């Protein structure tokens, strides 16, 4: 698995273009990898709804919860489904709209300098073996393409927006991921 730097795409990922992105600021470098958790409807897995949300095609009448998402324009660079399927929505050189109001080490606007990876899941349900394997492969490929993504630059949404977000949640095994990556000394 590797990143094509000209296209900003990860080989092995199915590409589905999201309109919910824009250009990064000219001086921005990719320096942060943010892990998220998402399920639509909450606590349910499978189905087309995450992809529809990220492409502004969600049918708000398909589930009562979806009405609360009306007008929301969000995306992520990547989604890792429960079965390991990998979908890319935004090229890495573009800014995906995944972090919202956020801050990392005193820097706000994390979307400017981060890559967002969504895992299909929720805070209190363990993520799958294949999701960890794919996330580790993705992280290695991103680190090879963007050297500023060191071990201390791998965080959860909860770390950059703690007042608003809890994902990927307590069910996510950070120690396992860091061990898979050889990042045992980072926290």
For residue 108, the domain's CATH number is 3.40.80.10
**Where do the DSSP E strands lie in the chain?**
3-4, 9-10, 14-15, 21-23, 32-38, 78-80, 86-88, 94-96, 103-104, 107-108, 114-120, 154-156
Residue 31 annotated in active site: no
Number of domains, the chain = 1
Structural domain span for residue 168: 3-181
169 domain-assigned: yes
138 domain-assigned: yes
Distance CA 137, CA 57 (A): 29
Distance CA 114, CA 77 (A): 10
Q: Facing residues of 32 across strands? A: 114
147 domain-assigned: yes
143 domain-assigned: yes
Predicted confidence (pLDDT) per residue in 45-99, tens digit: 999 999 999 999 999 999 999 999 999 999 999 999 999 999 999 999 999 999 9
Cα-Cα-Cα-Cα torsion 37, 40, 41, 44, nearest 10 degrees, comes to -70
186 domain-assigned: no
Catalytic residue among 118, 129, 163, 175: 118
Distance CA 161, CA 75 (A): 16
115 domain-assigned: yes
Stated pTM of the model? 0.96
* For range 148-167, the mean pLDDT: 95
> In whole angstroms, how far apart are CA 2 and each of 98, 140, 146, 176, 185?
22, 8, 11, 22, 25
Predicted confidence (pLDDT) per residue in 112-156, tens digit: 999 999 999 999 999 999 999 999 999 999 999 999 998 889 999
Distance CA 32, CA 109 (A): 12
In this predicted structure, the answer to whether residue 185 has a pLDDT above a threshold of 80 is: no
The residue written with tokens 């529809």 in the block is 52
Neighbours of 83 (CB within 10 A): 12
187 domain-assigned: no
> In whole angstroms, how far apart are CA 45 and each of 121, 160, 169, 170?
7, 25, 16, 18
């Amino acid at each position: 698995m590797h990143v094509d730097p000209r296209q900003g795409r990860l080989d092995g990922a199915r590409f589905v273009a999201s309109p919910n992105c824009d250009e990064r600021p000219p001086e921005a470098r990719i320096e942060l990898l943010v892990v998220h958790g998402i399920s639509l409807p909450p606590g349910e897995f499978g189905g087309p709804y995450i992809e529809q949300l990220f492409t502004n095609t969600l049918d708000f009448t398909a589930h009562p919860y979806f009405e609360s998402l009306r007008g929301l324009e969000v995306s992520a660079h990547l989604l890792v489904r429960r079965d390991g399927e990998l979908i890319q929505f935004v090229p890495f050189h573009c800014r995906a709209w995944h972090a919202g109001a956020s801050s990392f080490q005193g820097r706000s606007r994390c979307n400017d300098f981060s890559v967002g990876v969504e895992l299909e899941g929720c805070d209190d349900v363990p993520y799958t073996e294949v999701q960890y394997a794919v996330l580790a492969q993705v992280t290695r490929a991103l680190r090879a393409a963007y050297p500023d993504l060191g071990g201390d630059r791998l965080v959860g949404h909860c770390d950059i927006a703690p007042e608003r977000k809890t994902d990927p949640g307590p069910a996510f095994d950070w120690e396992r991921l860091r061990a898979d990556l050889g990042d045992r000394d980072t926290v």
